[in-house]
Amino acid sequence: MLFITCLLTIPARLAGETPEPACEIEGVSEYQLDNGLKVLLVPDSSIPTLTVNLIIRAGSRHEPYGQKGIAHLLEHMMFKGTATYPDVRNVIRRNGWSMQASTWNDFTNYETTMPGTRENLEEIIHFEADRFANLRVTSSQLIEELKIVLNENSNAKASPENVLTEQMISAAFPWHNYGRATIGNQGDLSKITVDSLEAFRQTHYRTDNATIVLAGRFEPKRALENIRAHFGRLMCPERVPPIESTIDPPQTGERRVTVRGMTGKPVAALLYHGPAGAHEDFAALEIFLSALMDATPGYLWAQERFRSAAVVSPDILGDGQLWGRISGLKQRGFVELYGTMPTDSAPEPLLNELIAATERFAESVTREQVRTAKRRVLARMQSQLLDLRSFAVELRYWESLGDWRLYFLHRDRVKNVHVDDVRRVAKRYLHRNNRTEGLYFASSEPVVTTIQEPQVPTESFDGFRRESAVSVGEWIEPEPLAVESRVNRHSFPNGVKVALLPKRTRGSMVHARLTFRLDSNVMPVTDTGALSLLPKLITSTNAKATSRRRVPGSVGLGTTFGSNTDDGFSITIRSEKEHFLVMLERLNHLLSEPCFTQDEFESLKRTNVASLERRSRLPYPLADEHLRRSGAKSIQEELDSLKSITFADVLDCYRQLTGNVHGEFVAVGDFEPKAVIAKVALPLDRWQSEHKFQPSSSHQVESETTELQIDGSPSACFAGDLYVQVGRDHPDYVALLVAHRVWMLHRLIPRISQDVGLSYYYSNALQPLPGTDQSRVSLRATCDSVRLLELKRAIADSFFSLHSTDITVDELSLAKEQLANSARMKFWSDKSLLSSLAESTSENRSFVDDSNLTRRINEVALADVQRAGQSYLKFDQMVIVVAGDVASAADPDQ
């Protein structure tokens, strides 16, 4: 049994004082206790009854994951009693009370109506304060009440409309708790414990999260004294309630839910996202729905029938009915429209009619219809004011939205609604992209698949081997000189370079890469569109099938795939040791003649065109590719070129490159170097150019900023390249390398990510450009479009800080340590080893150069790093491209 009593505290005010109301509107007086409890008094001595509503601003919206339905279950358990009131039913019968409770998305409400006597006033206040603070729940009580709640859950799901509504709201709100039914689900409910119930109650049932409303026959002064005596003594917890943060992004297309069941009639339904109840648009949207229905739309769980079914065709509706509801909740809202049809009908025609009628009515609603709808809604509100019990119940809704006074504000908004307002909100909310559609089919034999709970197999595992069936690799110290001592480097007479690193690997795997590079004489005359397709076509399905037929017994021995590089293309092989030489034979056949088909060409072309079109609409790829294509074809020109390429163009490109490229072959794994060299000699010789490789010339790019507008894009990208006249062999290269790392770690990242959360993705690198005396600093950073200017300024400030703030000894030390770690990471896996080996081989370097670089980094002086940073890292010399909804970017100074 769980028995918890709240701690008590004495309020600051003296018992004899009567506090002044915080505000008064039309007979409603608001008071606030020191512990945060809000009190609303609506006295009327002309009626014989008193209605008390205790509103807890916690509903299904506040439920944690795995406990859906706990707010409603706790509502039930609140009637289980306390030490002072162990038998709640007896208290109700003895005092002549009528008591009920309700749970909704934003609140839980406990309502009691009784004869308006002094004794009842004192008793109900004591009772509510006692169970609010001292609820007593046992496991046996929970088990018994859970049966009732589960039965209530099952009954709710027996209604086709309820099932369809539940699934539509779930589809409309995939992330927010509004998408989870207040009634909960049976799986979660069955696992709720007494402890989890108490944890939820202690979190949300607190005085600063509650409002008590008294309406009817009572003495205000005595009521306040009783409330202060019982509720005022409760201490508000110091802990802060959990922050709610999950909000669904705007819907960007219609969604459809289909449900099939055995009972009821076919149903068609619509749900449109709408404003929260406190939003000014809510009044106009309510008037729209009232005009459409020719009735006052229902609130909360109330559904109101259409007074006129002429909204849709009588031939389709038959003997069915239409009804609607508007829900303006705390954080979001929605409009629902439903229609039932004759039993043997399909609901799609009615759905289409509902869509057309609703969205057409948004354009055709008249002033007279708006005036009539306003009279209906205002008449309902006036009727509530005249019936204090109804009014007290209505206040719980507006109080759950944030403030009971919203009731009166909403009434004024309804009075001021104009036909133009109705058309405006209808156009804003009632359209295809904001719509969730629902269809319920009454089926005699619906097929339902129940997923079983997973079970751990009971069979014995003794038959498995204890030893690993995979061979273990060997450890090589991740240091440049240790790795270089194992590398076999070879050059063929025609200039082909080979670098092999034999070592035992896990599973005896071998990773190899053949790279073909186009020099500055060949690249300009090569069709870049055809070249972009060539590596994947060389290793296409048909081409590999052809090579397997030519090399018997080579099916399923390894993988081969091609990819593009900055100055050519490469083919990568992955194979086990025993099959590696056979895979090299297959590689020879792949490169002996084009074996790909025209169908493969057409399929790959379509894929590449679609990919390029998609990237041209996304900020990061658009900015990045625009920057990389500086001085070459634009993305649109490349796209047009790709669309115009023919199969013959690719074949011409294949023949043009054969004998006109420069190749390198690298491999890491378990193999015999001499056997490998003999196998790769033939394909390399066939493709190798007789001329010496001519690298690309230095980049001469003027600093500029290009803006690429993508209307409506929520995200944006800043892309910047900075070219500095410092190559790998320049005396300042090492100092620049360290200065760049200092800038990145201590000046850039804190400004755009760590401290302000501007950019949720960024990348940055300093890369020497092979064959030139240049290096390039590349920076890419994404952010929300509205913060693009703020991001750009933060990046500029990070550069300027190198001039305004000296680099410290600690910053220098950390930068050197990071560079050393990065250098070691190149040797931590066979794949990264392969890439590092390919890079060094293509640039005529060895890992000895990496060792020397590490030594020079350790020796570089702080003054040299400071000078290099100030001399070369300059924001105003960057080539910049920004892409996104640039027009929406807000000036950070405004």
Question: What are 498-551's pLDDT values in tens digits?
Answer: 999 999 988 889 999 988 888 766 666 567 788 888 889 888 887 777 777 766
| Residues 446 and 261 sit within 8 Å (Cβ to Cβ) | yes
Among 97-106, 445-454, 465-474, the range with the most confident prediction by mean pLDDT is: 97-106
Average pLDDT over residues 223-252: 87
**274 and 414 housed in the same domain:** yes
**303 and 434 housed in the same domain:** yes
Question: Is a pLDDT exceeding 60 seen at residue 12?
Answer: no
- Kindly indicate the confidence band of residue 567, based on its pLDDT and cuts at 50, 70 and 90: confident
Determine the pLDDT at residue 890.
77
Residue with the larger pLDDT of the pair 457 and 851: 851
**307 and 211 housed in the same domain:** no
Least confident of 40-49, 421-430, 585-594, 840-849: 585-594
What are the pLDDT digits (tens) for 160-176? Answer: 888 899 999 999 999 99
Classify residue 9: in a domain, yes or no: no
**335 and 393 housed in the same domain:** yes
Of the residues 661, 687, 713, which one is the last residue of a structural domain? 687
The C-alpha atoms of residue 371 and residue 360 are separated, in whole angstroms, by 19
- Please give the helix or strand (H or E) that residue 841 lies within, else none: helix 830-842
Question: Is a pLDDT exceeding 90 seen at residue 254?
Answer: yes
Question: Is a pLDDT exceeding 50 seen at residue 6?
Answer: no
Of the residues 195, 230, 265, which one is the last residue of a structural domain? 230
**777 and 878 housed in the same domain:** yes
Determine the pLDDT at residue 301.
43
Determine the pLDDT at residue 737.
96
% the chain with pLDDT above 90: 51
Q: What are phi and psi of 337, to 5 degrees?
A: -130, 135
**91 and 199 housed in the same domain:** yes
The C-alpha atoms of residue 592 and residue 839 are separated, in whole angstroms, by 26
**721 and 867 housed in the same domain:** yes
Average pLDDT over residues 240-250: 79
Query: Residue 54: CA atoms inside 13 Å, Cβ hemisphere, count?
Result: 24
Alpha helices, DSSP H only, in 402-505?
Answer: 406-416, 419-429, 480-484
Determine the pLDDT at residue 1.
34
Determine the pLDDT at residue 5.
35
Least confident of 115-124, 381-390, 809-818: 381-390
Among 57-66, 157-166, 311-320, 449-458, the range with the most confident prediction by mean pLDDT is: 57-66
Domain total in the chain: 4
Residue with the larger pLDDT of the pair 578 and 866: 866
Least confident of 174-178, 187-191, 339-343, 817-821: 339-343
Determine the pLDDT at residue 552.
61
Determine the pLDDT at residue 245.
65
Determine the pLDDT at residue 859.
95
Average pLDDT over residues 42-56: 94
Classify residue 236: in a domain, yes or no: no
For 300, 722, 869, the CA distances from 776, given in Å and listed in that order, are 61, 6, 14
- Kindly indicate the confidence band of residue 491, based on its pLDDT and cuts at 50, 70 and 90: confident
- Rounded to a whole number of angstroms, the CA Rg of the chain reads 37
| 3-class secondary-structure state, position 233 | coil
Question: Is a pLDDT exceeding 90 seen at residue 616?
Answer: no
The C-alpha atoms of residue 798 and residue 522 are separated, in whole angstroms, by 40
Question: Is a pLDDT exceeding 60 seen at residue 466?
Answer: yes
**325 and 195 housed in the same domain:** no
Q: What amino acid is encoded at 784 in this protein?
A: D
Determine the pLDDT at residue 364.
87
**650 and 712 housed in the same domain:** no
Determine the pLDDT at residue 528.
78
Residue with the larger pLDDT of the pair 758 and 10: 758
Classify residue 240: in a domain, yes or no: no
Classify residue 103: in a domain, yes or no: yes
Classify residue 239: in a domain, yes or no: no
Closest C-alpha among 735, 730, 722 to residue 819: 735
Determine the pLDDT at residue 482.
92
Least confident of 421-435, 530-544, 725-739, 875-889: 530-544
Question: Is a pLDDT exceeding 80 seen at residue 713?
Answer: yes
Determine the pLDDT at residue 13.
41
What are the pLDDT digits (tens) for 361-383? Answer: 888 889 999 999 999 899 889 88
**507 and 639 housed in the same domain:** yes
Q: Which domain holds residue 222?
A: 16-230
Among 8-12, 179-183, 271-275, 321-325, the range with the most confident prediction by mean pLDDT is: 271-275
Average pLDDT over residues 746-759: 82
- Kindly indicate the confidence band of residue 7, based on its pLDDT and cuts at 50, 70 and 90: very low
Question: Is a pLDDT exceeding 90 seen at residue 695?
Answer: no
Determine the pLDDT at residue 99.
92
Mean pLDDT of the chain: 86
Alpha helices, DSSP H only, in 276-387?
Answer: 281-293, 314-317, 348-364, 367-386
Classify residue 466: in a domain, yes or no: no
Average pLDDT over residues 785-797: 92
**332 and 422 housed in the same domain:** yes
Determine the pLDDT at residue 471.
77
325 CB-near residues (< 8 Å, 6+ apart): 297, 298, 299, 302, 303, 304, 335, 336
Question: Is a pLDDT exceeding 80 seen at residue 460?
Answer: no
Question: Is a pLDDT exceeding 50 seen at residue 11?
Answer: no
The C-alpha atoms of residue 585 and residue 50 are separated, in whole angstroms, by 94
Determine the pLDDT at residue 670.
92
Determine the pLDDT at residue 359.
87
**184 and 100 housed in the same domain:** yes
Q: What's 149's domain CATH number? A: 3.30.830.10
The C-alpha atoms of residue 218 and residue 43 are separated, in whole angstroms, by 6
Classify residue 415: in a domain, yes or no: yes
Of the residues 388, 423, 442, which one is the last residue of a structural domain? 442
Classify residue 247: in a domain, yes or no: no
Average pLDDT over residues 612-625: 86
- Kindly indicate the confidence band of residue 306, based on its pLDDT and cuts at 50, 70 and 90: low
